Amino acid sequence: MQNIIPKLTFSALMAVASFAQASTFIDTPAFSISYVDGSKPSQWSIGLMDTTAGSATFDLNTLNRQLSNAYAGPNGTLENEASAYHYSVFHIDVHDGYRINNLTFSGVANGMHHSYWQPGEQPGFADNSLDLRWNVTGAEGGNRVLLSDKSLDGGYTFRSEFGAVNYGNSFDVALNGWVWAYVVQSADGKWGPTSQAAASIHNTALTIDYAEIKSPVPEPTTGAMLLGGLALLACVARRRAAKQA
């Protein structure tokens, strides 16, 4: 029973699958987003989760699937590890008349590590590690760390904004992440309590904020001055015409 409880506790923290409609290309009134590169092309998938005035949120289905669970536990050997890696690139084309104001990445990180040993035997060991980074090419800002954690025992929500930089009309968003779990069993772990470790990144989403570019409207005073100038020119033209008659 001691072997099962930590694994069940970790599994309870795992996110449920998203109900967003999956695709590799999604078009919105302000921009389009498409999956253009990454690990395991057969698993490429993004989903439109929510849209509001000025923003759209996408479920990163592939990342959630690939980094959902790295688990290391008893497997008949004294030493065991598990890991998962994710890489993806999304291309964003901004439609005419719009601009991108900000990018926000959010998600959930979970981990657990429990080491066991019996008195007089070799101690067990358990650990984990999580890392996730993003980069926006064609825009200012460079590579940034979304999360970097080690020996995580529990879970938390993370959120990071890329900020109001000059994104331009076309750019790529690249994501790199991995999760790792490692255990060493005690000498008699085969028969007694065992060491276990796990790591997970899930429920990740990308929110893109945008705005419509509107032509500036002349101020009332500016418009009045312009009309006054046109009227003066018309008056002068009429006087010249009268003198020449």
pLDDT in tens, 23-37: 899 999 999 999 999
pLDDT digits (tens, 9 = 90+) for 152-203: 999 999 999 998 888 999 999 999 999 999 998 876 545 556 889 999 999 9
φ, ψ of residue 204 to 5 degrees: the values are -80, 145
Query: Per-residue pLDDT for 60 more than 90?
Result: yes
Cα 243 versus chain centre, distance: 74
**Residue 137: predicted pLDDT:** 86
Res 232 pLDDT > 70: no
Chain centroid to Cα 69, Å, comes to: 18
175 phi, psi to nearest 5 deg: -125, 135
What local confidence, expressed as pLDDT, does residue 238 receive?
61
Is residue 88 within 8 A of residue 63, CB to CB? The reply is yes
Return the beta strands (E) in the chain as ranges. 21-23, 25-27, 31-38, 46-52, 55-59, 70-72, 79-94, 98-114, 125-137, 143-150, 154-161, 170-184, 196-212
Please give the pLDDT value at position 214. 84
The 10 Å CB-count burial string (b at 16+, else e) for 98-125 is bbbebbbbbbbbbbbbbbbbeeeeeebb
Summarised one tens digit per residue, pLDDT across range 108-127 is 999 999 988 777 777 889 99
pLDDT value, residue 122: 77
For the chain, give every domain's residue range: 4-214, 218-245
**19 pLDDT higher than 50:** no
Q: Which amino acid is at 50?
A: D
